Structure 1
Amino acid sequence: MKIETFDVFVIGSGIAGQTVAYSCAEAGMKVAVADKREFGGTCANRGCDPKKVILATTEILQRAKDLEGKGVATLPKSTWKQVMDFKKEFTAKIPRKTEESLKKAGIHMYHQSPEFLDENTLLVEGKKVQAKKIVIASGKQPRNLTFEGADLLKNSDDFLSLPTLPESMIFIGAGYVGMEFAHMAARFGVEVTVMDHGKRPLSVFDEDMVAHVTAASKDLGIKFVFESEVESVEKLQKNFRVTYEKEGEKQSIKAEMVFNTSGRVPSIAGLNLEKGAIAYHKNGVEVNEFLQSTTNKSVYACGDVSAHALPLTPFSTKEGKIVAENLKNGNRVKTGYKEAPSVVFTLPNVASVGISVDEAKQLRKEIIIKTDSVPYWFNAKRINTDYYAFKTIVEKQSGKILGAHLVGPEASEVINLFAMAIYGEMTVEDLKNIIFTYPSWGSDIQSMF
């Protein structure tokens, strides 16, 4: 049997993998891409993009509700089916267009996840292939839960393709996905409960800012069950029963659908990384500053599957570019990002960039922390929202901006201005000297210090 050989073999067709594949193919290298799912990756097919399409409708619903009686006489009606049909306008063509584009670039495609046979050999679609360099860009997948009945749970893929909505839902996990979906479902009239083993949702975000989101969630009718450990899920005639332990007592709740939103893990199961002499741990493939495997120099990893990366699409793009450059020119480009902005698309948004208060307190520097809830500021008052808050962290001696944490209707956009300030090592005085349009959400940041 003839063994196909490649200069570069990419595992995963998301943004990180595509970035590597196109760049290397353009440089004249023989490239292949393999994916066990539809081509195009998570973000475009079943993640960031379709999620924000649904979000758009809920933003209108929330804005209309806030302005009811203040210019809005009749609240708009929403139809989940129409939203799903609109979402498909974005997602339905992604796999085909991705494959057409890869083919045009001369990139060979395999429609299966490969497994390592040795450091440079893979088995895919029943064929052995060898590659001088192998890039793992397989992303992340929903975490598997192990309690009794866990196989009955739906996941984020299922939520984003529901033809109709049930009357009630339970989300097990109060992270990004659980909270975003809970807000979307609740605004479409679903009775929502969110469960988590922690004391609050969104544990990686500032506690004070999250408190505002929690309050807004409760206003929306979302119920929370914190500090709970799920023991089992069972199917009843119409509903599912979730049994859990809280404060030493066994309790239960019911809903028509139950979702696993407990987080995502590196998608490496089945790759047989051990045969490829590739070190990894729970956070992903272990890599050095060049995004090269620490144990197999023929292998690189980029995007969410890399233990180095934050699970954010902008990191996937940047890491794909770094790997491509290092494959083409030898290890010349190192990773070295500053803090990246992050956002949860609940309504209101919660967003952050830079260091947290706890991190600031560990610095051997004097810092200035300013925090306030400001629904009385003009921008909040004009849309009649109750939730608008901020926390900023500044180095006292230099005046440099070190961190920002926001809650508000446009926090996902305003946080980018803080990111620019931090990347540019701007001081508060620098920021206040800029002329912003007024009255705009961006102009408010000059009053946050």
Structure 2
Amino acid sequence: MNKQFDLIAIGTGSAASSVASRCRAADWQVAVIDSRPFGGTCALRGCDPKKVLVGAAELIDWGRRMQGKGIQAGELKINWRELMHFKRTFTEPVPKHREEGFRKAGIEAFHGRARFTGPTSIQVGEDTLEARHIVIAAGQKPADLKIPGSEHLIDSEHFLELDSLPSRILFIGGGYIAFEFAHVALRAGAQVTIVHRDSRPLRQFDSSMVELLVQHTRASGADIQLETEAVAVEKQSGGLAVRVSTSGQMRTLYADMVVHAAGREPEIDDMNLDAGDVAWDRHGVKVNEYLQSVSNPAVYAAGDAAASGGPPLTPVASYDGVLVATNLLKGNHAKPDYNGIPSAVFTIPPLASVGLTESAAREKGLKFTVKTESTGSWYSSRRVGESSSGYKTLVEERTDRILGAHLFGGAAAEVINVFALAIRSGIPARDLKHMIFSYPTHGSDVSYML
């Protein structure tokens, strides 16, 4: 069956839904396509369900920290099966609600893999769809590790669906997924190992704050092996054997479950993009400053599928979706500004960052002051029994603008938003320093960080 539309959006996550809803509100004929349950990565198999697990682990950790400080935690522990049931109360309703929302808006929904058959035509199942414009917003998938035995690994999506947690878990990779899930697994009683081939994990974050996190993660019970590359995985009767190489020396590590946490890539390689004259590479669809394909003006890309330079974060995907819709409806004029977008690693405690790292600022030749300190002795940390916390801020000398802020501690993922607002809005450091915050709160620590 052939069908005509003004817009086809590939994906049903934050970016695609933003574009589709706005164009439909302008009376465009809109279709959405997704081969997975509708809702996208964040709502179904990413940020939202992950944070449910993190919340439970935080409660366990807080109880342990307060032992001997007025709290007797007793047998407080995670019941993994019950936690998974609670998690599914958030994820299971999403596909039906999202599809019902599309239907009520008059957006036609298609289930299946989208493949280009021409510059403005898409094949999905038995249907051929034609449109004036196509938006690619299909998100990311785990990158191919290309090691023998990789079929024995699970990824983050499968981890979030485990009905029981194995005793020994090994994570390959040292990014968000490895550290966040490792902290959850540790509080649930698992033995955790992280192997990372580089000399330091989470390289996009400030090195000194990452070091605090690594030290704290090790103190929490994790075995973190850096400059160690996983080269093969073999299934054995007692579990899995992982062959690793450290400085050329081969060793074998053993686990009941091995999690692929070594990076993700745009999920676009099977879309037959060449048939649509859509230029792309491993970073995503190649786009111009308006998030429009550099090779096919009828096509735009948003979120993780676009090689736009924006960080792979859900709020960025939503932001991209709004910009693409604006450019479709009103002509190209809206350009993304990714300056001052905060990100957080939801470990326990979390790590958060916004703006430039110290090394990046020095590479740019900027003149700035650095203020950094471990804050485990501060009231806001001691009150909750948190001994491991710290911060680093960078302020440009001439302009007093905040170049970057890097936090590790109990409320880092919330407090970082204050610094993000200052960076994106151009609020000078002196104004933030003299701000009167509610006290006693983590927010009131901001003035002491500048």
Give, in angstroms, the shift of residue 162 of structure 1: 0.2
Structure 1: gaps (5+ residues): none
Separation of aligned partners in 2, 1:359 and 1:215 = 23
Structure 1 residues 9-20: aligned runs within 5 Å: 9-20=8-19
Equivalent in the alignment of 2:138? 138
Is structure 2 residue 157 aligned with structure 1 residue 153?
A: no
Give, in angstroms, the shift of residue 365 of structure 1: 3.8
Separation of aligned partners in 2, 1:12 and 1:266 = 12
Separation of aligned partners in 2, 1:238 and 1:131 = 54
Give, in angstroms, the shift of residue 339 of structure 1: 2.3
Structure 1 residues 224-239: aligned runs within 5 Å: 224-239=224-239
Offset from partner CA, 1:104-154 (integer Å, 9 cap, x none): 111111100110111011111122221110000000011111111011100
Equivalent in the alignment of 2:256? 256
Equivalent in the alignment of 2:58? 59
User: What code does the residue aligned with 2:54 have?
Assistant: L
- What is the TM-score normalised by the length of structure 2? 0.98
Give, in angstroms, the shift of residue 431 of structure 1: 1.0
Offset from partner CA, 1:183-227 (integer Å, 9 cap, x none): 100110000000110112211111100111111111111001211
Separation of aligned partners in 2, 1:162 and 1:182 = 14
Is the contact between residue 78 and residue 187 of structure 2 (CA under 8 Å) also seen in structure 1?
no
Give, in angstroms, the shift of residue 362 of structure 1: 2.8
Separation of aligned partners in 2, 1:229 and 1:52 = 28
Separation of aligned partners in 2, 1:34 and 1:317 = 17
Percent identical among aligned pairs is: 40
Give the alignment's Cα RMSD to 1 decimal. 1.0
Equivalent in the alignment of 1:218? 218
Separation of aligned partners in 2, 1:366 and 1:333 = 31
Separation of aligned partners in 2, 1:237 and 1:364 = 56
Offset from partner CA, 1:52-83 (integer Å, 9 cap, x none): 01111111111111100111113422211111
Separation of aligned partners in 1, 2:78 and 2:226 = 31
Equivalent in the alignment of 1:303? 303
Deviates more, 1:432-441 or 1:29-38: 432-441
Structure 1 residues 267-282: aligned runs within 5 Å: 267-282=267-282
User: What code does the residue aligned with 2:11 have?
Assistant: G
Equivalent in the alignment of 1:390? 391
Structure 1 residues 369-408: aligned runs within 5 Å: 369-408=370-409
Is the contact between residue 77 and residue 188 of structure 2 (CA under 8 Å) also seen in structure 1?
no
Structure 1 residues 163-174: aligned runs within 5 Å: 163-174=163-174
User: What code does the residue aligned with 1:112 have?
Assistant: G
Separation of aligned partners in 1, 2:281 and 2:417 = 32
Is structure 2 residue 171 aligned with structure 1 residue 207?
A: no
Is structure 2 residue 326 aligned with structure 1 residue 330?
A: no
What SS does structure 1 have at the residue aligned with 2:445? helix
Equivalent in the alignment of 2:369? 368
Structure 2: gaps (5+ residues): none
| Change beyond 3 A, Cα 1:365–1:141 | closer
Give, in angstroms, the shift of residue 159 of structure 1: 0.4
Is the contact between residue 240 and residue 255 of structure 2 (CA under 8 Å) also seen in structure 1?
yes
| Change beyond 3 A, Cα 1:324–1:436 | same
Give, in angstroms, the shift of residue 332 of structure 1: 2.5
| Change beyond 3 A, Cα 1:368–1:92 | same
Separation of aligned partners in 1, 2:382 and 2:73 = 20
Separation of aligned partners in 2, 1:27 and 1:184 = 44
What SS does structure 1 have at the residue aligned with 2:320? helix
User: What code does the residue aligned with 2:405 have?
Assistant: A
Give, in angstroms, the shift of residue 84 of structure 1: 0.5
Equivalent in the alignment of 1:39? 38
What SS does structure 2 have at the residue aligned with 1:231? strand
What SS does structure 1 have at the residue aligned with 2:204? coil
User: What code does the residue aligned with 1:432 have?
Assistant: K
What SS does structure 2 have at the residue aligned with 1:426? coil
Give, in angstroms, the shift of residue 281 of structure 1: 1.4
Structure 1 residues 46-195: aligned runs within 5 Å: 46-75=45-74, 76-195=76-195
What SS does structure 2 have at the residue aligned with 1:275? helix
Give, in angstroms, the shift of residue 382 of structure 1: 1.1
User: What code does the residue aligned with 2:38 have?
Assistant: F
Give, in angstroms, the shift of residue 170 of structure 1: 0.4
Separation of aligned partners in 1, 2:248 and 2:27 = 63
Give, in angstroms, the shift of residue 438 of structure 1: 1.1
- What is the TM-score normalised by the length of structure 1? 0.98
Give, in angstroms, the shift of residue 343 of structure 1: 0.5
| Change beyond 3 A, Cα 1:370–1:231 | same
Runs of 4+ off more than 4 Å: none
Separation of aligned partners in 2, 1:337 and 1:245 = 37
What SS does structure 2 have at the residue aligned with 1:210? helix
Separation of aligned partners in 2, 1:152 and 1:400 = 49
Is the contact between residue 196 and residue 225 of structure 2 (CA under 8 Å) also seen in structure 1?
yes
Offset from partner CA, 1:388-442 (integer Å, 9 cap, x none): 1000100112222111011001100010011111112222221122110111100
What SS does structure 2 have at the residue aligned with 1:274? helix
Q: How many residues align?
A: 448
Offset from partner CA, 1:266-323 (integer Å, 9 cap, x none): 0102101111111111111011111100000000000111111310111111110111
Is the contact between residue 392 and residue 449 of structure 2 (CA under 8 Å) also seen in structure 1?
yes
Equivalent in the alignment of 1:423? 424
Deviates more, 1:270-279 or 1:327-336: 327-336
Is the contact between residue 209 and residue 407 of structure 2 (CA under 8 Å) also seen in structure 1?
yes
Equivalent in the alignment of 1:6? 5
Separation of aligned partners in 1, 2:292 and 2:181 = 35
Give, in angstroms, the shift of residue 363 of structure 1: 3.5
Give, in angstroms, the shift of residue 335 of structure 1: 1.8
Equivalent in the alignment of 1:244? 244
Separation of aligned partners in 2, 1:362 and 1:125 = 50
What SS does structure 2 have at the residue aligned with 1:185? helix
What SS does structure 1 have at the residue aligned with 2:194? strand
Structure 1 residues 347-366: aligned runs within 5 Å: 347-366=348-367
User: What code does the residue aligned with 2:446 have?
Assistant: I
Is the contact between residue 135 and residue 299 of structure 2 (CA under 8 Å) also seen in structure 1?
yes
Give, in angstroms, the shift of residue 36 of structure 1: 0.7
Is the contact between residue 340 and residue 354 of structure 2 (CA under 8 Å) also seen in structure 1?
yes
